[in-house]
A and B are shown apart, each in its own frame.
Chain A
Amino acid sequence: MNRSLVSTSARLPHEHPPDERAKVLEVNHLDVSYRVRDRERLAVRDVSFEIGRQESFGLVGESGCGKSTTALAVTRYLPSNGRISSGGVKVNGHDLTSMDKASLRRLRARTVSMVYQEPMKALNPSIRIGRQLSEVYEIIGLKRAEALERAEAMLRNVQISDPGLVMRRYPHQLSGGMQQRVIIAMALASEPSLLILDEPTTALDATVEAEVLDLVALLRQEFQTAVLFISHNLAVIAKMCDRVGVMYAGELVEEGPAEQVFEDPRHPYTVGLLRCVPQRGQRKDHGRLDTIPGFLPGPGQVPRGCVFAQRCSLADERCVSEAPPMYEVTPLRSSRCHYHEDAPRVPRSTPADVQLPESGELDRAEAPVIRLRGVSKTFKVRGESVRAVSDIDLDLRLGETLGLVGESGCGKSTLARVLLGLTPPDEGSVIELDGLPLAGRCSERDREQLQAIQIIFQNPDSALNRRHSVRHIVTRALRKLAGLSGDACETRLVEVVRSVRLEESHLALRPRHLSGGLKQRVAIARAFAGSPRVLVCDEPTSALDVSVQAAILNLLADLQSRERVTYVFISHDLGVVRYLSDRIAVLYLGKVMEYGPAETVFAGPHHPYTEGLLSALPNLDGVQGERVKLEGELPSAAHPPAGCVFHTRCPRRLSSGVCESSEPPLVEVEPDHMMRCHIPITELRRLQGKEPSGQEEAQRTSAAT
């Protein structure tokens, strides 16, 4: 891996010789507009920033804030209806806006590379990886044989262990993480001065994301490339970037060194964004998350004053009437806010108070609402049986949240579908509701049983019938599940809609007229219509922006404490799971690896798999522990490894060989904490540096009793 490329890179002819004094990228007062229905709409307004040699600059903001448009404008690769309406972009000192097609093409081939979110869409599905990658070298002017050789070396650079094999593969034969590595290899092949990464890891699992990010950081050093990194994820930007620009409604509202911006934000929007994310182990009973009220202004609507004034709790008349310039906060950073001095003290928009359930402590002895015993699900795929969920025992208690955690393909969604009766489980699986067995298919369950278990789906666009009005959607659920009709139904409809903080005026609308957050509220209203006892939340916020996510999480927490609903909360975002969950089950290849109270599971000692998941999580706290890497790829569920299913990727595999040969049972390693691992808990505690201090130990014993 540590091969130097300096000698080879010297041979690559550069059309635009990098001027050592010039910045890699200079964006000056950039305006970009899109022509929609014969009207020009400004999507990016007056954006200026610079990226120096080998610097990494992050653009962060919610969807629709113009970050991708900025990236496209930087390469002049806007769609046909978009154009740079004023301002300038310079790459290595060369003005991009006045460039002709041929030099633009050369610039894109040599100087600037881009990596997008969906690796599958960026690769040609019918060309082998080797050919696709070597083509990039041929365009630069290398002979075919040499190009192939360089391609193979490049694949080794992006840490693909068997490049020869991968070169002969087609894109669909590679996992998402491998595909993204290939894309990064292609992007770096020309040794560009600027690499633009537009949400490069958003479509990937947290563990894969962590590896790709590590790789990008490493290659940036090696190739001495400047990076423009675009993401909605504040933690990822904080981890990857030297400097950061926060965008809102097409404007750059704050800019400065990443550490300072995230530690001490000076724009109310940045402050709001940071408060929306559950941080530092924040939990639902510690307080509600802060939110950003209101909505993004529509594109083309240019307010006279500050773009954020409508949603800002600091805003006064000056903000509405006078657009703030980019104030220099310190020589290194600037903020587009009249009151940037006061920004860190923005009052909360949502009070933090929590209504705790009256009973306070949940009664441990209470019989569980749902009991799962030996639940398995085997799919037949092309004659092979794939065990998606394997022999799971779990209890759901009233008013508690069970967090299901694991990488994609670990069986968490299948388990949820089995519970709901959408996917019938294998023979012998037992699902009990209040001690009575439930049929495997929802069509065989009676109304009360259906009413008891409902779901909030991940994607409201798919979950809501787009031809039905909000009124129809919620009313139908009230009729069928709650058995209401007439006036009673109408009264309850208004009640339910208000409880999810929608207005009655929304009732007449169809889903397409609503924003993502409002749509998800409709889905929640439908799920709550029948007053369920158990609600499965399948990644309910992963399609939403962080400010909207905070509002939805608050809503879920409020509804739970008011109605004592039990949640099964599925998410890949461990921060979100931690915020909402009382108990956590960590799944791997359809098996429970660790199960216990949320605090215990997060505090450790962890199962090595949980340890890997937690370590992959980028955080904003600035303290990044030693990375525990999970090696290799998720094995196929059709051929799970012998012994412990996790041994192929386990960083703490025992040298005695017991992990390969025999499967550890799920046992209680400490009170109420189950784990499936051969390594004794004392040893795990020592390895993970979690020697309990006297205080912690005392806490734990008091919690257990």
Chain B
Amino acid sequence: MTADSDLTAALVGAKAESASVEAGAMTDVLDRAPFVVVSSSGAQDLSPRRIRAEQLRQLVHSKAFIVGALILLWWIVCAIFGTLFVPYNPLSQSLLNVNAAPSAAHWFGTDSLGRDVFSRVIVGARDILEIAPLATLVGTAVGTAIGLAQGYFRGAFDMLVGRLVDALLALPTVIVAFLFIVAVGANTLTLVIVIGFTFAFIIARTVRTAVLQERELDYIAAARLRNENAFHIMFVEVLPNVLGPIIVEFTVRLGYAIFTIATLSFLGFGVQPPTPDWGATVASNYQYLAAGYWWQTLFPALAIASLVVAINLVGDSMEAALLQ
């Protein structure tokens, strides 16, 4: 056991974090020993399952995770079953009841075409919760592959991709997506590919950093001494060890994806009306704000915000549990 801190540092008055560092080291020491003892007697309850159970326990004990997960679950239920329990058909217009303020009959009021805002918000979860995870999944998969290759091969390939990422990062994702959509036309597939593609390079950068640390470890040298091919080393040896940062990156990017899709829809390049997408709904109603019809814009906007916040809450708590 080594103590990381130093008393001389304390004398000089710079003691701030050392205690917590040490506490970490100490926990590590204490954690290790019980396993050692049990492993001498047998191997009943030391499976990786136990560690996963511990991580899960930690997640469930985190309030942020519970709140985030509940909100997220709510929107997922809305996306899948929303059409079954909405009070009104989100597309049916009622020209006799336009711009009605929130009331018992219409909880979130109605819009300029007399459609029920509450029903539209509920059903509006569907498109965004379909495109965003798909796009992020594509981005993570492609980004992981690129990052693994960059970190493993280094050299010219790494340089080339690295500069490409720099160039892409200089432009906001929305602008890049914008350019593509103008060229190809707006549909779900384009959105998934465009967002996935731009995210891939950002994710690749994170993965690359993690891989660079891993490849210095001796188990990679051991694999080379067994004549394992590059594919095996990247995907069987390295990948499992960098999954933590990849999962964290996925949750972070998911939040950004929702934001990007909402922005694109707002600009008219994402999900097209009359689909009750939140971004598109905000876009088509915000001009009525000046007239005092705030509910038409506020509720879909709140929906976007709540979803992004929920995903970030879940992501942060997962990061804490996975990367400690």
Contacts and interface: CB of A to CB of B under 8 A. Distances in A.
B39 A422 contact: no
Interface in A65-121: 67-69, 71-72, 75, 77, 79-82, 108-109, 112-114, 116-118, 121
A513 B37 contact: no
B225 A114 contact: no
A113 B29 CA distance: 25
A506 B39 contact: yes
B274 interface: no
B11 A298 contact: no
B227 A450 contact: yes
19 contacts: A36-B27, A68-B2, A72-B3, A75-B7, A82-B23, A114-B8, A116-B4, A136-B8, A297-B33, A299-B33, A421-B225, A442-B227, A443-B224, A462-B217, A465-B237, A467-B241, A468-B240, A477-B226, A515-B39
Contacts of B22: 72, 79
Contacts of A509: 39, 43, 46
Contacts of B227: 442-443, 445, 447, 450, 480
A186 B8 contact: yes
What are the nearest 3 A-B pairs in CB distance? A467-B240, A79-B23, A122-B6
Contacts of A443: 224, 227
Given A296-B36, A450-B227, A463 B222 contact: yes
A173 interface: no
A480 B222 contact: no
Given A77-B5, A79-B22, A450-B227, A455 B30 contact: no
Nearest to B44: A505
Given A77-B10, A114-B8, A299-B30, A514 B36 contact: yes
Interface centre among A41, A196, A295 (most CB of B within 10 A): A295
B166 interface: no
A79 B26 contact: yes
Interface in B17-68: 19-20, 22-23, 25-27, 29-37, 39-40, 42-43, 46-48
Contacts of B225: 420-422, 442, 450, 454-455
A508 interface: yes
Interface of A: 34, 36, 41, 43, 63-64, 67-69, 71-72, 75, 77, 79-82, 108-109, 112-114, 116-118, 121-122, 124, 132, 135-136, 139, 183, 186-187, 190, 196, 198-199, 294-301, 420-422, 442-443, 445, 447, 450, 454-455, 457-459, 462-468, 476-477, 480-481, 505-506, 508-510, 512-515, 518, 526
Nearest to B7: A114
Contacts of B11: 108-109, 136, 139, 190
A75 B13 CA distance: 16
Contact of A41 (B9, B20, B30): B30
B36 A298 contact: yes
A440 B78 CA distance: 62
Contacts of B226: 450, 476-477, 480-481
Contact of B33 (A294, A298, A467): A298
Contacts of A77: 5, 7, 10
A80 B20 contact: yes
Given A75-B7, A465-B241, A506 B43 contact: yes
Contact of B40 (A124, A294, A463, A476): A294
A81 B26 contact: yes
B8 A187 contact: yes
Contacts of B1: 63-64, 67-69
Given A79-B23, A514-B39, 16 more contacts: A34-B27, A41-B30, A80-B20, A81-B23, A81-B27, A108-B10, A116-B4, A295-B36, A295-B40, A299-B34, A442-B227, A455-B221, A505-B39, A505-B43, A514-B35, A514-B36
Chain B contact residues, majority secondary structure: helix
B35 A36 contact: no
A301 B34 CA distance: 9
Interface residues of B, number: 50
A476 to B, nearest CB: 7
Contacts of A114: 6-8
A683 B273 CA distance: 99
B77 interface: no
Nearest to A117: B2
B2 to A, nearest CB: 5
Contacts of A121: 4, 6
B130 interface: no
B156 interface: no
Nearest to A133: B8
Contacts of B20: 79-80
Contacts of A512: 35
Nearest to B241: A467
Given A79-B22, A81-B26, A183 B37 contact: no
Contacts of B4: 116, 118, 121
Nearest to B219: A465
A483 B225 CA distance: 14
A513 B3 contact: no
B12 interface: yes
A297 B37 contact: yes
B218 A463 contact: yes
Contacts of A139: 11-13
B9 A135 contact: no
Contacts of A124: 9, 12, 14
A122 B22 CA distance: 13
B254 to A, nearest CB: 24
B39 A296 contact: no
Contacts of B217: 462-463
A114 B48 CA distance: 39
Interface string B224-249: 11111000000001001100000000
Contacts of B240: 465, 467-468
Nearest to B32: A515
A295 B37 contact: yes
B218 to A, nearest CB: 4
Contacts of B29: 63-64, 299
Nearest to A71: B3
Interface centre among B42, B48, B240 (most CB of A within 10 A): B48
